[in-house]
Structure 1
Amino acid sequence: MRRRLIQSTLAVVLVVIAVFGVSLVIVETRTISSSAQESVDNEAVRIGSIVDSRLLGGENITPGMLADQISKDRYARVDIPGHPPVQFGDHPTGSVIRGKATGEQGEKVVVEERRSSVTREVGRTLLIIGGVALLAVIAAVLLAVRQANKLASPLTDLAETAERLGSGDPRPRHKRYSVPELDRVADVLDSSAERIARMLTAERRLAADASHQLRTPLTALSMRLEEISATDDLDTVKEEATIALTQVERLTDVVERLLTNARDPRTGSAVAFDIDEVVKQQLEEWRSAYRSAGRAIVCSGRNGMRAVGTPGAVAQVLAALIENSLMHGGGTVALRTRVTGNQSVIEVTDEGPGVPADLGARIFERSISGRNSTGIGLAVARDLAEADGGRLELLQQHPPVFALFLSREARTRKAPHTSRGDDGGDRPVR
């Protein structure tokens, strides 16, 4: 491209020089020739005037008398009636420029000059014009090289940017070149890079969310299948198979939810549902895992609560909180349901050490974890809650209290609070 720009610029300059240079040479040649002819004619008239004045004064005309009156390198001859011709200067040979004049006394004056002097003057003029043309060509080449570099270098940068995008490096360069057309291309490439970066981020996030969200139902399904394979009781097999089918349905719901959030995180299928059913399902699912860990999971609070949301998403949020308590907490895990204003609240707490002080404000950020885990679970849980118009908050760090806030159904049936045990502890719901 650089070579083409230089060649095209140089061609334009040469054409301009050829057109205007030839015209200038012709004009200058004619001007110099005309000036030389006019100078010789004026010289002849001037000498004729001098001769007239001398003749009127009665003087004899001699070559010495007029030798100082003629320009150097010129020849003059004066023909006076009744007198011999008077000549002074060297008689030129070859092509000459001749000027003639006739005086008032009848004398005739002829002045001659070699045409080579005019040719030398024309040569000097052509040399000057040629030098100017050469300088113009050099300046044009330098300007063409500079302009070619100014245009070619940005194109090279843009090509490298496009290549980087194609190779999977979507970092925008935000580099501009003070050329509107090239800056427009750079804007488009940077916008494309940002879109590709968002798409790659969304894909990585979907992959991370999927691996985390599918782990729990797959583990539960595996446990049910192990129970089926380890028993010969037909009733137990049927019961475990029914639970396994429920896990498969939940797994399908998780996949659909992940795909929906990948397309539009704010797209939900909120409906009115019974919170008791979701809580009961989570208790049944996690009871065996807590029993294996030598711990308990209980629930208390208000019964018969209804909320607006996606049951599958709420189940995933509670599963993330319960799993987080199982992995990082200690003692008994308690789920408590209550009502505050026009919201239904599900709290999850345990008797563990709680959330470190330095992580309290960032506990819901991705990749934030105090126990070398993935740091994805709570971030996904908050996204799921917000997608249904709810919110997930950390109400207390020691002991940890996580609360899921959901909008209440317009009309809810009131139910009494669960009774307390004699020892003041919460009594697990059935």
Structure 2
Amino acid sequence: MRRRLLSSTLLVAVIAVLLLGIPLGVAVNRLIHEEATQELSGEAKSLVGDVEYARGQEQPIDPEQLAKKYPERYIQIYARGTPPQVITVGTEPPMDRRLDASAQSESGVYVVVVRDKTQVEQQVHAWLLLILALAAVALAVAVGLAVVQSRRLTLPLRDLAMIAERLGSGEARPSKHRYGIQELDRVAEVLDRSATRIADLLAREREFATDASHQLRTPLTGLTMRLEEIVAAADDPKVVKEEGEAAIVQAERLTAVIDELLAAARRQRHAQTSVVELDALLDQQFIEWGPAFSRSGRKLMLSGTRGLKALGTSGGISQVISTLLENSLKHGGGPVTVTTSSTNKSIVIEVADQGNGIPEDIAPRVFERNMSGAGGTGLGLTLARALAAADGGRLELVRPRPAVFAVFLRPVGDSGRYRVVSGPA
């Protein structure tokens, strides 16, 4: 491409120089010859006047004075009279080198002024050389501009090709390069947007893998506890049946968690929210987490208003409560109390323990991704808050020390009951 630009620009410049230079050379040649001829004609007329004046004053014509006044000229003067007067001044040039002009008066004076064409041709050659030099300069400038322009075009194209190759290899990083050329800048903007989208997709894939490993751990832990209870109570058929049913519930919950994660990965919840009975949901959570708290020597208590109903998804709310209970078990202390209440605007579920709580420097950022002050992954509360928001509610830290978290859910009859909302971010 670079060679093509150089050759095409040089060809255009040569054509332009020829179209302008040749007519200009012809015009300069003609103009210089016309000026020389007019100059000789003026000298001849002036000389006729001088001769007429000298004859009127009856003064002789001095050839030496004429030679001084008209140097490098060959002059012939014919004056009518008795006898006729003929005066010759200077050296006559060869016939093929003559350039002459003549003038005649009414009294019979005839003057011919001749000069050598060599000086005129030298002047023409000088002007033609100047034109050729200007043409060469114009061609050099054209080549220089072509080199600059080809670099300006080819280097950005190479850069864009490298950027596209990096995108193809998975290195999705916007270059933010701009080149001052509208078309190339447009291509660069498109590539930057593509890089941003690819980087976002890759980040979502990594987040999905991380979120899946974290979110699946909780139901798998519950399922493991149920199986341990079954093994421990192998001699009691009733207990085995109860624990087996609880294990089945845990497996179903694990399936629901996988569905939630897939919905989050697609950035959309396809199911509409429905009425969720909180009593059944919390009772199931107590059945799942009760043995774990008992083995830790801690109490898990439920208080507040019973019979409450909220709008949301059972899997999402269960996952939020399970995350809060798991955090209280791992990082909290003392008894854990789950309190339900209602207001005109929200159904509230509070989870509180009597541990050391959350440090003041971490409390404002406790819901940020990868933020943890106790050696955790820093993902649980982030995902729990996203799940609550997906159901149209919110998760807040009410008190850092001792820690109290509150889930605010939409009451039944909320105008947004049948809307489709975005999934976790």
Q: Structure 2-normalised TM-score?
A: 0.87
Residue among 275, 278, 282 paired with 1:275: 278
Deviation, 1:405, is 1.4
Deviation, 1:36, is 1.4
Q: Classify the secondary structure of the residue corresponding to 1:358.
A: coil
Deviation, 1:353, is 1.0
The residue aligned with 1:414 is: none
* 8 Å contact from structure 1 (residues 47, 69) kept in 2: no
* Residue-pair matches, total: 410
Residue among 202, 210, 213 paired with 2:215: 213
Counterpart check, 1:48 vs 2:48: yes
Taking the TM superposition and a 5 Å limit, the aligned residue runs for 1:82-97 are: 82-83=83-84, 85-93=86-94, 94-97=96-99
* 8 Å contact from structure 2 (residues 67, 73) kept in 1: no
* 8 Å contact from structure 1 (residues 272, 307) kept in 2: yes
* 8 Å contact from structure 2 (residues 10, 139) kept in 1: yes
Counterpart check, 1:74 vs 2:73: yes
Counterparts of 1:226 and 1:353, CA distance in 2: 30
Deviations 1:6-56 (A, max 9, x none): 433333222211100111001111111111122222222322232233233
Counterpart check, 1:372 vs 2:357: no
Residue among 129, 132, 138 paired with 1:130: 132
Residue among 383, 387, 391 paired with 2:390: 387
The residue aligned with 1:113 is: 115
Superposed CA RMSD in Å reads 2.6
Counterparts of 1:410 and 1:24, CA distance in 2: 92
Deviations 1:303-325 (A, max 9, x none): 22211111111110011001111
Counterpart check, 1:253 vs 2:252: no
Worse overlay, 147-156 or 84-93: 147-156
* 8 Å contact from structure 1 (residues 80, 107) kept in 2: yes
Counterpart check, 1:23 vs 2:26: no
AA in 2 matched with 1:7: S
AA in 1 matched with 2:136: L
Counterpart check, 1:357 vs 2:360: yes
Q: Which runs of 5+ in 2 are unaligned?
A: 415-425
AA in 2 matched with 1:287: G
Counterparts of 2:105 and 2:60, CA distance in 1: 15
Counterparts of 1:97 and 1:192, CA distance in 2: 78
* 8 Å contact from structure 2 (residues 397, 403) kept in 1: yes
* 8 Å contact from structure 1 (residues 62, 86) kept in 2: no
Counterparts of 1:123 and 1:113, CA distance in 2: 18
* 8 Å contact from structure 2 (residues 246, 288) kept in 1: no
Worse overlay, 284-293 or 147-156: 147-156
AA in 2 matched with 1:63: P
Counterparts of 1:101 and 1:332, CA distance in 2: 135
Counterparts of 2:23 and 2:174, CA distance in 1: 54
Counterparts of 2:128 and 2:305, CA distance in 1: 109
Worse overlay, 50-59 or 389-398: 50-59
Deviation, 1:153, is 4.0
Counterparts of 2:73 and 2:61, CA distance in 1: 19
Q: Classify the secondary structure of the residue corresponding to 1:68.
A: helix
Worse overlay, 363-372 or 180-189: 180-189
AA in 1 matched with 2:76: R
Worse overlay, 149-158 or 108-117: 149-158
AA in 1 matched with 2:87: V
Q: Classify the secondary structure of the residue corresponding to 1:104.
A: coil
Q: Classify the secondary structure of the residue corresponding to 2:361.
A: helix
Counterparts of 1:242 and 1:266, CA distance in 2: 29
Deviation, 1:80, is 3.5
Deviations 1:303-353 (A, max 9, x none): 222111111111100110011111111222222222233422221122211
Deviations 1:368-408 (A, max 9, x none): 11111110000100111111111111111221111111122
Deviation, 1:278, is 0.9
Deviations 1:199-249 (A, max 9, x none): 233222222221111111123334444555674776665544433332222
Residue among 137, 154, 157 paired with 1:155: 157
The residue aligned with 1:418 is: none
AA in 2 matched with 1:269: Q
The residue aligned with 1:140 is: 142
Q: Classify the secondary structure of the residue corresponding to 2:108.
A: coil
* 8 Å contact from structure 1 (residues 261, 267) kept in 2: no
The residue aligned with 2:297 is: 294
Distance 1:84 1:352, change over 3 A: same
Q: Which runs of 5+ in 1 are unaligned?
A: 412-430
Taking the TM superposition and a 5 Å limit, the aligned residue runs for 1:392-411 are: 392-410=395-413
Q: Classify the secondary structure of the residue corresponding to 1:357.
A: coil
